[in-house]
Amino acid sequence: MIRRSLELSLAGDECRLSIRRILHRRRSQDQSQDALWASVISLCRVSIGESFAPVSIELARPQPPCVADFYGLFRAPIRFGAERDVMVFRREDVERPLPTANRALARHNERIVADYMMRLDDDNFSDRVRIRLIESLPSGRVEAEDVARALNVSMRTLQRRLADEGTSYSALLDRARHELAVRFIGEQRMPVKEATFVLGFSEPANFSRAFKRWTGVSPTKFRQVD
């Protein structure tokens, strides 16, 4: 699995989405990173509008022979061989109301989360970790180090306290993804590509395999049965 670090920053009228690979670059990683950016752009155009285009793009990969395809996808200036992958876009695009916004559904989801959190035991450390994962997954920050920092504990303490409760970080991450995936696919009818990105999977195929492991059926079949 390729580990990535994602960061979103705001500066004036612009936003910067940065994706840095933890491991050294290989050609197969370039292809995986290309697929990730294609998903990001597709998700932006589904959410914001088909006319969405970044201000500029920086990519760590070398310039490919099919460079015209990259310009066709991004519709923006591209600099290859950069230190890390960065997409710069307008702040107004982030603040623009979503065409698919549904206030009633948003209020319903807020009630679900509020009810769920009220049922949790504050003394149960694993529940606190699950809450943090559910809050953090949509932003892509799902590293154990980030969760430990947010809960003001060391990595060793995080691992020890979870082990004391008979679980682990990876098990809680898998469970949180499972719960959110069922909700996204079944209740909210979220497209598979969007759910893949929101839950931190690198490719729709990886998400579909995990979904079948959780439920016994593919996302498409689950939606039909549901």
Residuewise pLDDT in 10s, the chain (226 residues): 445 567 888 888 999 998 876 444 455 577 888 888 998 898 888 888 888 999 999 999 999 999 999 999 999 999 999 988 999 999 988 887 776 677 777 777 777 766 665 555 555 889 889 888 887 787 666 789 988 988 888 999 999 999 999 999 999 999 999 988 988 888 777 888 888 888 888 888 999 999 999 999 999 888 877 5
Q: For the domain 103-225, what is the CATH code? A: 1.10.10.60
Any residues with CB less than 8 A from the CB of 4 and at least 6 apart, and which? 19, 20, 21, 22, 36, 140
- Residue owning tokens 């500066």: 11
- Quick one: CA dihedral 100, 106, 107, 112, positive or negative? positive
Right CATH number for 4-95 from 3.40.50, 1.10.10, 2.40.128, 3.30.1330?
3.30.1330
Within 13 Å, how many C-alpha atoms sit on residue 145's CB side?
A: 1
Phi, psi of 176, deg, nearest 5: -65, -45
Phi, psi of 11, deg, nearest 5: -150, 105
Structural domain boundaries in the chain: 4-95, 103-225
Inter-helix orientation angle 27-47/67-74, to 10°: 30
Q: What is the DSSP letter of 24?
A: P
- Judge if 4-95 and 103-225 fold alike in CATH terms: no
